[in-house]
Amino acid sequence: MIKKLALAAVVLGALSGAAVAETVVRIGLAEDPDVLDPTLARTYVGRLVFASLCDKLFDIDEKQNIVPQLALGHETSADGKTVTLKLRPGLKFHDGEALDAEAVKFSLERHLTMPGSFRKAEISSVEKIDAVDPTTVKLSLKNPFAPLIAQLADRAGMIVSPKAAKEAGDKFGLKPVCAGPFKFVERVQQDRIVLERFADYWNKDNVFVDRVVFRPISESTVRLANLKSGSLELIERALATDIKDIKSDAKLRLATQIEMGYQGITLNVGNSDNGKNGPFGKDPRVQQALEAAIDRDALNQVVYNGEALPGNQWVSPNNAYYQQKFALPKRDVAKAKQLLKDAGVATPVVVDFLVPNGPDTRQLAEVVQAMAAEAGFDMKIRVTEFATSLNEAEAGRYHAYLLSWSGRVDPDGNVFSFMSCTGPNNYAKYCSPEMDAALAAARIASAPAERKAAYETVAQMALAGGGIIYLYHRPVIIAHTVKLSGYKQLPDGLVRLTGVKVQQ
């Protein structure tokens, strides 16, 4: 009897729950995010959660233009060394504290000084931060730095509650307090992250979702199955090969964009003796030969069902900074063979091809291997687990390394760290004073035309033998149920729920 009553209560509870249901959006993530502290965070998937949790000073739009978010605008002085930010008035954090100039100063200083901060390098050009008045922040720079505002449109621009951050110290990520459209409720590692609507959000009139639940589900097939069975409302990183399937399902909708990052092959031109004496270190024409041997369109068809955008530079052909002058070449096996001959290397050119293990990297590597073989390369694939591959690449124990980059808003973020002599991501150990000068010039110049001119030199040198062959820009593929309306996809791949409505 008691059992029956209890059961009835449960059923009733479920029914009444449905009647006054809050609107929930459950999102399937491809990985479990790392720590939810903007200063210490470092993964792409973590940014997906931050998009709902922590607002930034600036944001981007569909064309990658910088638009206001917490800040209304900015002004750069003529010498480029002072940047003044104007904040929205009356902003509040999730804990009710005021988000004013002092709070912005605190957050930026936290990024700059906290031990283990991954933001420091991004805004290290900032020397001093002053809160002029409650809505005005003045940044004094060591030197002009064009990518700064773009950095403030990413994690470096996320503002955290000073009160909560001081209390929690480096444990802040366990219970983050920010100023985004949703506030933190709970997190069970590897199971779920729950957020709920923030009543005092500055743009609350455009938030129609009560609760957001993020669930990490690593298998893409299972992620899609969950979406189809109705236990999720949205999934990120659906497979290109599933696009047809998603389109044919009347209950599902697709949102795609071309990513800001790229898929490339890093070539060891000068990392350790293995690199210097390796095929690509000896003569830059070997890199040109390998590039000529690759058919990017075929690669795109086979690996991405034609959904990716082939490219040969660090930004996609859609980007304003893409150098049309060096537009995408067609595959040319004869030219590749000739280049190898000119370089005077013995064929077949044996290449130790390091491939980090992933769902599609193996296939991509096999296709590249087959294409390169026709031009006289013998690419020996070595699939290793990701952590090991980083180690091998750093030590220079490779000739070619299949590596992708998730992309940054400013073109500088996609190239500087890879091609400047001391760049931390320069696995190829490519180094040229001329390249360094061009990269620095693009950082200092503030006018887009001037920057683009500087990047022309970069593109020319990169293509001639910069140690990276850019292959294509992958599609960002988001699938959601028809219950969601008003969803818009931006090229950064993040999920923004502002403006999204849920139909019950």
Site for other proteins in 121-150 (CB under 8 A): 121
* Residue 438: DSSP 8-state: H
CA distance linking residue 2 with residue 5, whole number of Å: 5
Taking CB under 8 A as the rule, does residue 116 contact other proteins? yes
Counting Cα atoms < 13 Å in the Cβ hemisphere of 458 gives 30
The first and second tokens of residue 376, run together, are 């006289």
Q: Which of 236, 242, 259, 291 binds other proteins (CB under 8 A)?
A: 242
Interactions with other proteins, residue window 319-338 (CB under 8 A): none
Q: Which of 225, 255, 343, 350 binds other proteins (CB under 8 A)?
A: 225
Backbone φ and ψ for 473, nearest 5 degrees, come out as: -110, 120
Owner of token pair 């004013």: 100
Taking CB under 8 A as the rule, does residue 2 contact other proteins? no
CA distance linking residue 218 with residue 236, whole number of Å: 11
CA distance linking residue 449 with residue 416, whole number of Å: 18
Closer to other proteins by Cβ: residue 210 or 360: 360
Cis? peptide before 348, omega within 30° of 0: yes
Interactions with other proteins, residue window 370-409 (CB under 8 A): 370, 381-388, 390-392, 394, 405-406
The first and second tokens of residue 442, run together, are 């693009």
Q: How many CB atoms neighbour CB 226 within 10 A?
A: 18
Closest approach of other proteins to the CB of residue 196, in Å: 18
Closest approach of other proteins to the CB of residue 267, in Å: 19
Which one of the spans 145-153, 311-319, 366-374, 437-445 is the region binding other proteins (CB under 8 A)? 366-374
**Sequence-separated (6 or more) residues with CB below 8 Å from residue 478:** 234, 235, 236, 238, 254, 255, 256, 487, 489, 493, 495
DSSP secondary structure letters along 253-293: EEEEEE-SSEEEEEE-SSSHHHHHTSHHHH-HHHHHHHHHH
Closest approach of other proteins to the CB of residue 258, in Å: 19
Interactions with other proteins, residue window 431-490 (CB under 8 A): none
Closest approach of other proteins to the CB of residue 355, in Å: 8
Q: How many residues bind other proteins (CB under 8 A)?
A: 73
Closest approach of other proteins to the CB of residue 78, in Å: 31
Closer to other proteins by Cβ: residue 102 or 394: 394
Closest approach of other proteins to the CB of residue 360, in Å: 8
Closest approach of other proteins to the CB of residue 354, in Å: 10
Which one of the spans 61-69, 111-119, 334-342, 437-445 is the region binding other proteins (CB under 8 A)? 111-119
Q: Which of 82, 140, 256, 425 binds other proteins (CB under 8 A)?
A: 425
Which one of the spans 98-106, 274-282, 352-360, 454-462 is the region binding other proteins (CB under 8 A)? 352-360
Which one of the spans 89-97, 297-305, 341-349, 458-466 is the region binding other proteins (CB under 8 A)? 297-305
Taking CB under 8 A as the rule, does residue 113 contact other proteins? no
Interactions with other proteins, residue window 27-86 (CB under 8 A): 32, 34-35, 37, 40, 42-44
Task: List the beta strands (DSSP E) in 151-243.
Answer: 182-188, 192-197, 211-216, 234-235
Which one of the spans 55-63, 136-144, 357-365, 434-442 is the region binding other proteins (CB under 8 A)? 357-365
Taking CB under 8 A as the rule, does residue 203 contact other proteins? no
Closest approach of other proteins to the CB of residue 344, in Å: 29
Q: Which of 62, 130, 219, 342 binds other proteins (CB under 8 A)?
A: 219
Nearest to 206 by CA among 177, 181, 179: 181
CA distance linking residue 194 with residue 83, whole number of Å: 36
Closest approach of other proteins to the CB of residue 486, in Å: 26
Type of residue at 328: L
Q: Are strands 211-216 and 400-405 parallel, antiparallel or unpaired?
A: unpaired
**In the chain, what's the furthest Cα-to-Cα distance?**
90
CA 401, 404, 405, 407: dihedral to nearest 10 degrees?
A: 150
